[in-house]
Amino acid sequence: MTRKEVFKKAKKIVDQLPADTIWQLDVLRVELDPDDLDDFAWFYERATMKLADI
Amino acid sequence: MIPESHYTSNEKRILQAVAAVNNQISVMVQSLLKVDGAGRIKSTAGNIQRAKQMQKAIMKEMTQGAFKDEMNSLIGTFGKIPDYATEAFQEVRLLPEFGQADDEMVRIMANDTLNEVSAMATQWAGNINSAVYAGAIAGTPRKELLKQAEQLLIGHSDVRGRPMVNYVQTIVNTRIAELDTLMILRKGDELGIERWRYTGSTIRDSREWCVDHAGKIFTKEEIEEWRDKKWNGKKAGDPFVTRGGWNCRHGFSPVLVEAEEKVIEGKPEGGQKTQEAKKPVKAKAKPAAKGKTLSRRQMLSELKQDIAKNDADIRYPDDDNDGLPFVRFNHTSGAKRVTRTQKNRAGRRLYGNAELNGMNDEAAAIVHGELGTLNALADRYNVPRLRAMRTMEQRGVGASMGDGVLSMNRRTFNGRAIPRTAEQAADDMAKLKLQLDESREAIRTGRDAAAAGGSAAIKEFNDKIKKHNKLADTINEINQTIDLPVSNWLPDDRSRIRPYTASGYHDNGVDQIRSTLLHELGHHVHQQYAVSASAYQSNSPYVEGVIARLFRTKKARVSATEYGDQDADEWFAEGFAMFHNNLEHLVEPELKELFHKIEKGLPL
């Protein structure tokens, strides 16, 4: 999967917010180069905020 | 002792070797990249293709061939060290003996130096390649591209920036001086030498530390105490070996006890010239409960208790609308736009809480140790103590502060807490990346089998994912751990090349982390000092207006860090970090005066 595809999928996951959102993000994160992890962290933050209803 | 002529010869040879590389690159650019009538590189597919091809040639030029041969030959002169050491002992009529172990030490240090130079050359080749490629895409004037390359390698009078040649000269001359000292001390131990004279020529650039200590005699124990001293340009490590720091040309010569006329105390007289004595508050790690080492859980528990207590400070303004704590800053970094309600919820759930999730034990211990300093400074500047601590990951942000909430980038802190040299980082990175690729492949191929294998197989699969992601985090953090030379910039320097932040003046992770924490506390001071509820709610604390005015008047003048020139608040925070972390001499007088006024509660 390319970086773009990973980010696109992650956005979809965070938008839909399934019960296993964080797990799905974990699985997706495996595909990334370590340099992209800081950017990817946004999805975890966003998901956490949404799950906490903020 | 190494004669001065050896150092200058090294510098000259390095300059010639790097200049030769620059010439080769210049020939490549001129012969391969076509230009238009105005001298701009044509941004054609052909040129871009050729720029790509040049990247390999440039990398080869800088890491192999004539440059590498010259560096090999130069570092071969490390073999002269036993002769120089012998000369040092002739003064006291002793003759040291050298054996295989000494030859081995010379060989290892020469190899290490060569590796460091190679890593530097690889890094700079990457920088030049980026410039060439960008030039071909953007259609940069060829003359300008050549100037950029020249600046990167040997410096250019019209362009600012520290070139590669300076770094290589610093590395080679520092390492050879370290080897010389190491050899002299080793032989001194064998010959029973107990006292050492700090010797070496004092030149215009000599550090205050070296000038103060030159010619004085010290015992080994007294030199050992230098570990805890601070001075500008100090290099981490054994003080016998690192002496004054990067590029230091001082060393130790043996002194026979019967030959001593007067033993001068190792401690500098009065100590007033050391920066340690100058700084108003010594940012010292909090002792761990009378010598006991605290566990991670104990540290966190202490932090939580402290933070929860601080949250009760009535100086933190409440919201006029609902009477609950006011939230000025957006703590929902995951959301681009937030409503007032969302902002309040996000902030209020942080207040009174402390967490260090994802921070390694080393970084957590440093943060824990600094809490005492942060509390003391908050008291001293009459602002409430911090009321929340948390970790985060945000590209390009080491830490942030708002509403008394300190957010720390765990990757930055983790990396700084375990520093590595460029060479170590490259080695570690290469090994871990291999492991990462293997692990990714195993996860991809094992997914279906895990799904079909029941709960145990799924658990194993999930563990693999966790392990993989931890490994990826480690690699990411290594990127932030490269231990670059410490800046020696001073306010009267003509150069504008300064570190990006105040951390760049420190050579160790503890001081770098402390610098970041103090920077954030600086923000806390301008956000909270004497702020009325209405000013806070309308985003206009009094101090911030004062800083903005001062910043406008200083605008043309550079401050000690690039970040400090960015805006008024960063200027204040950078100055605050330097003022309280041993770099008072880099802080502008008007800022020092402002700190004084805030501290004493005087009109600003």
- Tell me the pLDDT tens digit for each residue of B257-310: 644 333 333 333 333 322 222 222 222 333 333 345 678 888 899 899 999 999
Q: How far is A1 from chain B (nearest CA, A)?
A: 11
The answer to whether the CB atoms of B393 and A41 lie below 8 A apart is yes
| B247 torsion bin: left (phi>0), alpha (psi -120 to 50), beta (else) | left
Q: How far is A9 from chain B (nearest CA, A)?
A: 16
- Any idea which residue has 């946004």 for tokens? A42
State the best of B336, B343, B395, B448 to mutate against chain A, taking most chain A CBs within 10 Å: B395
- Any idea which residue has 């566990």 for tokens? B295
**pLDDT of amino acid B593:** 94
Q: How far is B411 from chain A (nearest CA, A)?
A: 9
Partner residue facing B334 (CB), from A26, A30, A49:
A49
**pLDDT of amino acid B484:** 62
Does the structure show a pLDDT above 90 at B474?
no
Percentage of chain B surpassing pLDDT 70? 89
Partner residue facing B469 (CB), from A29, A35, A42:
A29
State the best of B327, B333, B390, B412 to mutate against chain A, taking most chain A CBs within 10 Å: B333
A49 contacts on B by Cβ (under 8 Å):
332, 334-335, 346
- Any idea which residue has 């910039």 for tokens? B489
Q: How far is B353 from chain A (nearest CA, A)?
A: 16
Cα torsion angle, B583, B585, B586, B591, sign:
positive
In whole angstroms, give the CA distance from residue B449 to residue B68. 51
Partner residue facing A35 (CB), from B332, B444, B476:
B476
**pLDDT of amino acid B187:** 85
Q: CA nearest B326: which of B542, B535, B573?
A: B535
Query: How many C-alpha atoms does B88 have within 13 Å on its Cβ side?
Result: 33
Tell me the C-alpha to C-alpha distance, in Å, between residue B18 and each of B58, B60, B209, B487: 12, 14, 32, 22
In whole angstroms, give the CA distance from residue B520 to residue B360. 20
B493 pLDDT band (50/70/90 cuts)?
Answer: confident
Q: Which chain A residue lies closest to B348 (C-alpha atoms)?
A: A54
**pLDDT of amino acid B283:** 28
**pLDDT of amino acid B596:** 94
Beta bridge partners of B420: B482
- Any idea which residue has 């990334």 for tokens? A32
The answer to whether the CB atoms of A30 and B393 lie below 8 A apart is no
Residues in chain A, how many?
54
The answer to whether the CB atoms of B472 and A32 lie below 8 A apart is yes
The answer to whether the CB atoms of B479 and A35 lie below 8 A apart is yes
Q: How far is B335 from chain A (nearest CA, A)?
A: 6
Q: Are residues A10 and A40 in contact, defined by beta-carbon separation less than 8 angstroms?
A: yes
In whole angstroms, give the CA distance from residue B430 to residue B436. 10
B466 contacts on A by Cβ (under 8 Å):
26
**pLDDT of amino acid B287:** 37
**pLDDT (tens digit, 9 = 90+) per residue, B140-149?**
898 888 888 8
Partner residue facing B333 (CB), from A45, A50, A52:
A45
Query: Most confidently modeled of B66-80, B193-207, B289-303?
Result: B66-80
Average pLDDT, chain B: 82
- Pinpoint the alpha helices (H) of B453-506: 454-478
Does the structure show a pLDDT above 80 at B457?
yes
A35 contacts on B by Cβ (under 8 Å):
476, 479
B30 pLDDT band (50/70/90 cuts)?
Answer: confident
The answer to whether the CB atoms of A54 and B349 lie below 8 A apart is yes
B318-327 mean pLDDT: 86
Is pLDDT larger for residue B293 or for residue B181? B181
Question: Considering just the CA atoms, what is the radius of gyration of chain B in Å?
Answer: 28
Query: How many C-alpha atoms does B147 have within 13 Å on its Cβ side?
Result: 10
CB pairs under 8 A between A and B: 62
Which residue type occupies B66?
A: A
Q: How far is A20 from chain B (nearest CA, A)?
A: 13
Q: Which chain A residue lies closest to B395 (C-alpha atoms)?
A: A38
B365 pLDDT band (50/70/90 cuts)?
Answer: very high
The answer to whether the CB atoms of B395 and A45 lie below 8 A apart is no
B394 contacts on A by Cβ (under 8 Å):
38, 41
In whole angstroms, give the CA distance from residue B491 to residue B590. 14
The answer to whether the CB atoms of A38 and B411 lie below 8 A apart is yes
Partner residue facing B468 (CB), from A30, A48, A50:
A30
In A1-54, beta strands by DSSP E: none
| A33 torsion bin: left (phi>0), alpha (psi -120 to 50), beta (else) | beta
Partner residue facing B476 (CB), from A23, A37, A47:
A37
State the best of A6, A26, A30, A43 to mutate against chain B, taking most chain B CBs within 10 Å: A30
Widest CA span of chain A, in angstroms? 31
SS (H, E, C) B250-301: CEEEEECHHHCCCCCCCCCCCCCCCHHHHCCCCCCCCCCCCCCCCCHHHHHH
A50 contacts on B by Cβ (under 8 Å):
334
The ipTM, to two decimals, is: 0.88
Report the alpha-carbon angle A21-A23-A24, nearest 5: 65
Residues in chain B, how many?
604
Q: How far is A48 from chain B (nearest CA, A)?
A: 8
Q: How far is B444 from chain A (nearest CA, A)?
A: 9
For residue B537, the tally of other CB atoms under 10 A from its CB is 17
